[in-house]
A and B are shown apart, each in its own frame.
Chain A
Amino acid sequence: MIRRLSLCVTGLLGATASHADWAINMPRGVSELSAETYDLHMTVFNWCVGIAIVVFGAMIFTIVRHRKSRGVAPARFSHSMSAEVTWTIIPIIILLIMAVPAAETMIKIEDSREPELTVVVTGYQWKWHYTYQGEDVAFYSTLARSSSEARRKGSGIDPASVENYLLDVDKPLVVPKGAKVRILLTSNDVIHSWWVPDLSIKKDAIPGFMNETWFQAEEIGVFRGQCAELCGMDHGYMPVVVQVVEPDEFEAWMDAEREPPAAAATTTSSAR
């Protein structure tokens, strides 16, 4: 009964889309690992709520009951070895219970073997660059024009009128659904961090070093995140957008990308 009730509550909390206003919880996300991360988060949260109910309950009880105005003289005790041992051992046990599934998930997160696709992500001040490793496909991904105009101080443009304000780019990272995508991460200047909440992925992009992480998106859609390490003036203006498409759509997109932009070049040169 308690289990059903707590599942209800957690379900309610989880069901709220994090892209809605007044959102209060993390998204469950679209990968197995993001769901595991979410579950870990909710487990720890529920433990905290449970402990809070007990501890705050005791505090409130004593504040209400053990007042001088009730006219009872204060007790004199100030020791209890058994109490101390109990409230040392019980928290240790609770922490062990939380640590085990956390460690299991961490081991899975570290396993980036056998990816189907590798993308090298480079952070710049203030945009991202994506290179599909082994393919001749590479491009910058910059804040979309609509956001870039509206964001200026005193622009007069209401952010509510801009679609995906500050979360839209001119060219997103496109990946196939169900593929294990390895991300190699570095930076051209300062430390940035590549974060997509729906994929529960965040890793720092450090100049001169290569970091590695991976994700496997199980749903179609466009998933948006932001840079998560202060990188200067426009740290808040370099979003991360990942578009997950069906595998055949991905192949078609890759073919189009592999095409050299020859048509555009010849038109401009002949127009001269």
Chain B
Amino acid sequence: MSTAVAGIDTHDHHRPEKGFGRWLFATNHKDIGTMYLLFSLTMLFVGGTMAMVIRSELLAPGLQFVNPDFFNQMTTMHALVMIFGAIMPAFVGLANWMVPLMIGAPDMALPRMNNLSFWILPFAFTILLSTLFMPGGAPAGGWTMYPPLVLQTGDAFPFLIFSIHLMGLSSIMGAINIIVTIINMRAPDMSLLKMPMFVWSWLITAYLLIAVMPVLAGAVTMLLTDQFFGTSFFLAAGGGDPVMYQHIFWFFGHPEVYIMILPAFGIVSEIIPTFARKPLFGHDSMVYAISAIAFLSFIVWAHHMFTVGMPLTGQLFFMFATMLIAVPTGVKIFNWTATMWRGAMTFETPMLFALAFLFLFSIGGFSGVMTAIVPADIQYQDSYFVVAHFHYVLVPGALFAILGAVYYWLPKWTGRMYNEKLGQIHFWLTAVFVNVTFFPMHFLGLAGMPRRIPDYATQFTDWNFVASIGAFGFGLSQLLFVYIVISCMRGRGESATAEVWDHPKGLEWTVPSPAPFHTFEEPPVRIPAAHTFT
């Protein structure tokens, strides 16, 4: 195979390989991005099916379909799959596709590590999902895995820990790759403050990932040793403290939720200026706001623990710090509105999702401020009010940003315009049903319904019924999205131009659609004025 003359490689690098070797051994950021996105779409439906089981059981009082233990497995796995399998990989997929294109780099800095980061995930999720079929079933102690309860998990326990470790490794390696790429491989003209917001949001998210994924790894390893190796980190009988787990977990967990929203902020900052035909308002403030949010995210973790028995000083500190996060977040909402102000807006599907994000994420933000107030949180904690809050920020928040991003960049990826009419129908169905599903949960929580219960007192019947109907509608509507994306991938639809939209800013719009397998093999020496972010 190797020739006598060193250095001459007869492989043709200008075309991707044929067959599944292309995917298994992929080092191209576009291929890896595609794999992440398709994987996350699959996981969205896996987690979504679990949600359908949950909402079917909660449709009416009484236990109709599943046993309480299996119900708890569903709630636990639904969260693990959605967080680690759907939302996070989707954002990584978008980063893989778009960051090199946006900064004028030929690929990610570490392409082989990129491949490993992706392929760990199907492996990890096969392990995690296989626990459903083990004796004792899947983990059922909540995605938060609090001890001592999680230590009552059966055979699934070591597989849970192992799969979490694998997911963490994937995230950490991905984050390293992103930071190295952004710091080292930007076009010569592109100073940090001239980067697009999506790139900024991912730079900061990557630092958060590196900071906190190891903390989660530590926490679950301590669970493992408590279970199998005689330690007592979290067992009072041996001198340990179950609450310490909660501190360690949430020190990871709170930045984790910002990891799941900062890229969404970046996406919205890309979409709104394009469709308002106006530059992003306050670009530098937006960078500072994201940085402030990221910094603050490290010092608020105990707001998930207001009922554990915390000293008053601690409660006061965490309440004030949590309320403070509303300030930079508010600045972002106002800046996006100011971007729209006196623009010339059109409302294609990506813009619809971005605008829905503005309204509905804000509602999630309001319920967040409410939960920050400790005496009120005593009533909200572990009730459906909290479930409503986090679903508002994650579904019409993170997920809508992802859907908007897919519609926004799909023509660049595939060279075809998606069907705009169908996209709008998908949007409206999704937006209506998401509210029908999650808004009543605020009422349920306030009326006193706890979370993670398979059956409920009869006064909670009506809103549960409404929420379940909404959930079925929401789930079914996503099938339309799959159809739209696959049609586009298969080459149906009008050809897309390089610019796709009306004079959007950003280097990604200077390459053809579909983007060639290799782009920016030479760095752009001068970025055209129309594509700079001053």
Contact = CB atoms under 8 A, between A and B. Distances in A.
Interface in B25-84: 61-69, 72
A190 B149 contact: yes
A5 interface: no
B327 interface: yes
A100 B279 CA distance: 39
B63 A229 contact: no
Contact of B448 (A18, A154, A233): A18
A236 B334 CA distance: 42
A145 interface: no
B152 A229 contact: no
A272 interface: no
Contact of B382 (A22, A77, A193, A207): A193
A214 interface: no
Contacts of A171: none
A165 interface: yes
Nearest to A24: B443
Interface residues of B, number: 94
A58 to B, nearest CB: 6
Given A36-B375, A153-B67, A228-B450, A76 B307 contact: no
A220 interface: no
Nearest to A23: B447
Contacts of A41: 370, 373, 376, 379
Interface string A27-65: 100000100110011001100100110011011001100
A144 interface: no
B283 A189 contact: no
Interface stretch (B8-16, B126-134, B314-322): B314-322
Interface string A66-79: 11111011111111
Nearest to A225: B448
Given A24-B447, A106-B374, A190 B152 contact: yes
Given A23-B446, A102-B319, A63 B345 contact: yes
A264 to B, nearest CB: 32
B63 A74 contact: no
Contact of B320 (A68, A99, A200): A99
Contact of B462 (A21, A59, A153, A201): A21
29 contacts: A23-B446, A40-B373, A58-B337, A59-B340, A66-B340, A66-B343, A66-B345, A68-B345, A68-B346, A70-B344, A75-B278, A77-B281, A95-B326, A109-B375, A150-B62, A151-B455, A153-B64, A167-B457, A191-B242, A200-B375, A202-B381, A207-B236, A207-B242, A209-B242, A209-B309, A226-B448, A230-B149, A232-B140, A233-B68
Given A55-B333, A59-B359, A62-B341, A160 B463 contact: no
B458 interface: yes
Interface stretch (A85-93, A113-121, A133-141, A247-255): A85-93
Contact of B369 (A23, A33, A48, A84): A48
Contact of A55 (B241, B337, B454): B337
B285 A84 contact: yes
A204 B308 contact: yes
B342 A75 contact: yes
A235 interface: yes
Interface string A164-192: 11110000000000000000010001110
B378 interface: yes
Label chain A's interface by main secondary structure: mixed
A1 B190 CA distance: 56
B405 to A, nearest CB: 20
Contacts of B237: 208
Given A55-B337, A228-B383, A206 B242 contact: yes
Contacts of A154: 63-64
A259 interface: no
Nearest to A107: B312
Given A107-B312, A158-B62, 8 more contacts: A26-B448, A55-B362, A99-B323, A109-B375, A191-B149, A235-B450, A236-B450, A236-B456
Given A150-B62, A193-B307, A230 B446 contact: no
- Max chain B C-beta neighbours (<10 A), residue from A19, A155, A225: A19
Given A67-B344, A102-B319, A107-B312, A209 B241 contact: yes
B330 interface: yes
Interface in B355-373: 355, 358-359, 362-363, 366, 369-370, 373
A2 interface: no
In the A-B complex, list the 8 residue pairs whose CB atoms are closest, starting with the nearest. Answer: A208-B236, A236-B453, A23-B447, A75-B342, A211-B309, A68-B344, A48-B366, A78-B279
Interface of A: 18-27, 33, 36-37, 40-41, 44-45, 48, 51-52, 55-56, 58-59, 62-63, 66-70, 72-80, 83-84, 87-88, 91-92, 95, 98-99, 102-103, 105-107, 109-110, 150-155, 157-160, 164-167, 185, 189-191, 193, 195, 197, 200-204, 206-209, 211-212, 225-237
Given A202-B307, A206-B309, A22 B463 contact: yes
B283 A78 contact: yes
B70 to A, nearest CB: 10
A235 B451 CA distance: 10
Contacts of A165: 61, 457-458
Contacts of B277: 68, 74
Nearest to A231: B149
B309 A98 contact: no
A37 B338 contact: no
B162 interface: no
Contact of A191 (B148, B279, B331, B375): B148
B327 A95 contact: yes
B147 to A, nearest CB: 8
A114 B370 CA distance: 31
Interface string B424-465: 000000000000000000110011101111111111011100
A45 B370 contact: yes
B280 interface: yes
